[in-house]
Amino acid sequence: MVRRHVSLKDLAAEIGVSISTVSRALKHHPDISPELTKRIQELAIKMNYSPNPLAMGLLKQQTKMIGVIVPDMVTHFFASVISGIESVAKENGYYIVISSSNESWSKEVESVENLLKTRVEGIIACLSQETRDFAHFEKLIKNEIPLVFFDRVCERLQAPIVTVDGCEAVKNIIHHFNTNGYKRIAYISGPEYLNISRNRKEGYLEGLRECGLKLYPELLVECKLNAEDAARATRQLLHLEEKPDAIFGINDTVAFAAMKEIKKYGLKIPDDIALVGFTDEFHSTVVEPPLTSVTHPTFEMGQQAARLFFKLIENDGPFNHTVKLPAELIVRESSIKQKSSD
Amino acid sequence: MVRRHVSLKDLAAEIGVSISTVSRALKHHPDISPELTKRIQELAIKMNYSPNPLAMGLLKQQTKMIGVIVPDMVTHFFASVISGIESVAKENGYYIVISSSNESWSKEVESVENLLKTRVEGIIACLSQETRDFAHFEKLIKNEIPLVFFDRVCERLQAPIVTVDGCEAVKNIIHHFNTNGYKRIAYISGPEYLNISRNRKEGYLEGLRECGLKLYPELLVECKLNAEDAARATRQLLHLEEKPDAIFGINDTVAFAAMKEIKKYGLKIPDDIALVGFTDEFHSTVVEPPLTSVTHPTFEMGQQAARLFFKLIENDGPFNHTVKLPAELIVRESSIKQKSSD
DNA sequence: AAGGTTTCCGCAAAGCTTTGCGGACTAAAA
DNA sequence: TTTTAGTCCGCAAAGCTTTGCGGAAACCTT
């Protein structure tokens, strides 16, 4: 047995007909007599023939590959989104090529270039936390290469996006805090130029207003989306003369870092301070106390992004569409002072 | 601007020479005059030319793609390994195509077939927990398609493997338990036919012997590698007339499930029962109490697997080699009765 | 000036598939 | 017997790149 795959040529030689005939027989073309068709079909199975995607790609000018750019691929959030993308890609006979920007703008630019070189048919991306310049994506759009954003998106670009309704989710958090007696509510936000930061901040402000709570500017802090800076931001809050009695963090990196930091200060959750995060289900339940959190429909997010992608490919014209997924607030112990005895 | 990529033909037409000349100029072939070479090079940059990988693949009979099969891609363990594979693949100009077996044998078989159809040059795989029949991998080896295993491997196949020294790691755990006064040590293992189960069990038995501890057969339980069955196994241990005073779980899925279950029973870790797992760093520190654990060098594991893969491709003969990575026991609070006050 | 070198470049094939068009052959009709 | 109509199949091009080989032009030598 050798390494080379069998081609139409091999089948043709074996049976003694031309390549074209084999090709036609394999797709039941009426020009080929039923008996010959049958013989060829059987031989193809016996010799384990499968069409060469490279040749098909050259001919049809399509690679059946989608490029996916994520800030990282090891956190559960992105791994799960990728998994969602992969599932619908597979349904449509496509493969994905993943490229990680490592939260860096320059690596993101590089990723776009590299993916283009591999001839992916389009790109599904989540912005790095540094990204403020979108030239690399604008070029994609100008060249009519399908592009879909998810989670961290650029709204002014003509690209379909799928996000989570952060504003609404945060308002729910504020209401939840309020009804549970927390009044000095802090928010650890991300970089202002990220849409998710802005949306959630909007929810924060509106939520406070709706609840008739006062806004303390010193309780709204900003940090980079990594554990170290989140810890720094948390310390900043804990050092305040008048500490917050509740904190909520923009994503799970921030939320868990905050939790560690609060514990390190010897403060009790939720008695001294309540904590809520945007996190995934699993981790929220394994920490102590179990973390009240807004869960992202990550897998579904990936699926939706991929679906938008395929719509884009089909229509192949200018197209922009927004899918906003609901996020659910799941109340656990980290945000309720009195344990209810059941 | 159109979607089509520029080809050598476009460059040739623009300058008015033949395609061959352009091709040669682009790689500084001495046959082409320096001036013409320069002109062509500049035009290539200006028109943003990049060679078509499909055409190259056809010609050179290589796709520069590696297939990666994992039981799942959302747990940190595998996500991190994938990330490691990807990093050295990229260094070598290769891309990876990920396929998830979902811990199912049939999906694993399917993955192998699909990856072969996409013409990956070889496969890096971690066995599903169901896999006991290796025909699909044997076929790969027979056809001389490069194959590398990591973590859960099949030792009797002629394929290079990279694993973690589970036996040694578990022995360390037993010693650690012993010196901290835990004597009834339970082990929640995985399916017996997985090498990781066998290795760690071996470490368990040897460790007990070395420490002069008695082996209680009822403390050695087996479960499937999912949260539900791990919880069941934990309950089985907790229902014993004489409970264990220490438990260690074969991987992080099991360890965290056990932790939840122990808490549910109102038992205190580590006072009532000690717990140690094979887990990754991050999650071990965020749970309460912080979990003593053996950390896997996951990223490095991926890198090593990829390196073996490239060796295999180069030598392109029969080759088998084993890399055994050390695992480190990191002691935290979940396995030490008396908190040391510092 | 004619033959010999260099220098520079193009032809064509191979790698694999699809498909329009035309060709060969058989059988039926005139 | 010749024309017509079917039936069945092959040629060749396109998609893109690399590379051995052959060819043309220019320069040098004698």
CA distances from A136 to A109, A115, A139 (A): 6, 12, 5
Q: What is the least distance, in Å, from the CA of A323 to any CA of chain B?
A: 24
In this prediction, residue B280 carries a pLDDT of: 73
pLDDT digits (tens, 9 = 90+) for A257-304: 999 899 888 898 899 999 999 877 777 887 878 899 998 899 999 999
pLDDT digits (tens, 9 = 90+) for B86-117: 999 999 999 999 999 999 999 999 999 999 99
Number of other CB atoms surrounding residue B212 within 10 Å: 7
Where residue B3 falls among pLDDT bands split at 50, 70, 90?
Answer: low
Strand ranges, E, within chain B: 65-70, 95-100, 122-125, 147-150, 161-164, 185-189, 220-222, 246-249, 274-279, 292-295, 322-325, 328-330
How does the average pLDDT of chain A come out, rounded? 90
A82 vs B50, B73, B96: nearest CB: B73
Average pLDDT over residues B33-40: 88
**pTM for the full model?**
0.90
Q: What torsion, rounded to 10 degrees, do the Cα atoms B67, B71, B74, B78 define?
A: -70
Which of helix, strand or coil describes residue A142? helix
Q: What torsion, rounded to 10 degrees, do the Cα atoms B334, B336, B340, B342 define?
A: -40
| Separation of CA A198 from chain center | 18
Task: Give the relative orientation of helices A19-26 and A8-15 as an angle to the nearest 10 degrees.
Answer: 110
Strand D contacts (Cβ < 7 A) comprise A 17-21, 31-33, 36, 55, 58-59, 61; B 4-5, 7-9, 19-20, 23-24, 26-27, 31, 49, 51-52, 54-56, 58-59
Q: What is the least distance, in Å, from the CA of A227 to any CA of chain B?
A: 11
Q: Do A58 and B61 touch (CB under 8 A)?
A: no
In this prediction, residue B339 carries a pLDDT of: 47
Where residue B133 falls among pLDDT bands split at 50, 70, 90?
Answer: very high
Which residue carries 């010693």 as its tokens?
B175
Which pair of tokens denotes residue A134?
A: 């979108």
pLDDT digits (tens, 9 = 90+) for B310-341: 999 887 555 778 899 999 899 999 998 854 44
Task: Determine the Cα–Cα distance for residues A26 and A50; give it in Å rounded to an integer.
Answer: 11
In this prediction, residue A79 carries a pLDDT of: 94
How does the average pLDDT of chain B come out, rounded? 90
In this prediction, residue B341 carries a pLDDT of: 40
* pLDDT above 90 for B275: yes
Task: Determine the Cα–Cα distance for residues A143 and A145; give it in Å rounded to an integer.
Answer: 6
Q: Do A50 and B116 touch (CB under 8 A)?
A: yes
Please check whether residue A138 is in contact with residue A157, taking contact to mean a CB–CB distance below 8 angstroms.
Answer: yes
Chain A residues near residue B96 by CB distance under 8 angstroms? 97-98
In this prediction, residue B244 carries a pLDDT of: 94
* pLDDT above 80 for B2: no
B 37-66, residues with C-beta < 7 Å of strand C: 55, 58-59, 61
Which residue carries 């460790």 as its tokens?
B207
**What one-character DSSP code corresponds to residue B2?**
-
In this prediction, residue A258 carries a pLDDT of: 93
Average pLDDT over residues B130-149: 92
- Radius of gyration in angstroms for the set of CA atoms belonging to chain A, rounded to a whole number: 26
Tell which strand C nucleotides have any atom below 7 Å from a protein Cβ. 7-12, 14-21
Chain B residues near residue A116 by CB distance under 8 angstroms? 50
Task: Give the relative orientation of helices B76-91 and B298-315 as an angle to the nearest 10 degrees.
Answer: 40
Higher pLDDT, A318 or A21: A21
Please check whether residue A28 is in contact with residue A37, taking contact to mean a CB–CB distance below 8 angstroms.
Answer: yes
pLDDT digits (tens, 9 = 90+) for A223-256: 999 889 999 999 999 999 999 999 999 988 899 8
Half-sphere exposure of residue B193: CA atoms within 13 angstroms, side-chain side = 10
pLDDT digits (tens, 9 = 90+) for A42-78: 999 999 999 999 999 999 888 999 999 999 998 889 9
Where residue B1 falls among pLDDT bands split at 50, 70, 90?
Answer: very low
Element counts in chain A: helices (H) and strands (E)? 13, 12
pLDDT digits (tens, 9 = 90+) for B204-223: 999 999 999 999 999 999 99
* pLDDT above 50 for B168: yes
Closest to B174 (Cα-Cα) out of B218, B219, B129? B219
In this prediction, residue A282 carries a pLDDT of: 72
What per-residue string of b and e applies to B271-294 under the rule 16 or more CB within 10 Å gives b? eebbbbbbbbebbbebbbbbbbbb
Number of other CB atoms surrounding residue B64 within 10 Å: 16
CA distances from B56 to A96, A207, B59, B63 (A): 20, 57, 5, 8
**What one-character DSSP code corresponds to residue B278?**
E
